[in-house]
């Protein structure tokens, strides 16, 4: 269930924590995708990177 989380006395939405986790995962996965040349097949590589980040973020949010 999504709710607020107390971070150092301030309430933060749990989506913020999912966003940070997805960002960390993306920093790890993005060079792997680039090294394998997967972005070469995309029409717009920046848009493909954004889509990959959204997929990671969605998987984290929907898995809980």
What is the value of pTM for the model shown?
0.83
Structural domain including 51 reads 20-62
Would residue 9 count as lying in a domain? Answer: no
pLDDT digits (tens, 9 = 90+) for 19-60: 999 999 999 999 999 999 999 999 999 999 999 999 999 999
DSSP reduced 3-state for 13? strand
Would residue 15 count as lying in a domain? Answer: no
pLDDT digits (tens, 9 = 90+) for 8-22: 888 888 888 899 999
Would residue 57 count as lying in a domain? Answer: yes
Structure tokens belonging to residue 32: 């792997």
- Tokens 């090294």 — which residue? 35
Would residue 2 count as lying in a domain? Answer: no
Would residue 53 count as lying in a domain? Answer: yes
Would residue 41 count as lying in a domain? Answer: yes
* CA torsion, ordered 22, 28, 32, 38, to nearest 10 deg: 20
Number of domains forming the structure of the chain: 1
């Amino acid at each position: 269930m999504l709710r607020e989380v107390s971070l150092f006395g301030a309430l933060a939405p749990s989506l913020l924590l999912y966003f940070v986790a997805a960002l960390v995962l993306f920093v790890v996965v993005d060079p792997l995708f680039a090294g394998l040349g997967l972005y070469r097949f995309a029409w717009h590589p920046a848009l493909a990177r954004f889509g990959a980040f959204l997929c990671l973020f969605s998987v984290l949010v929907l898995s809980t």
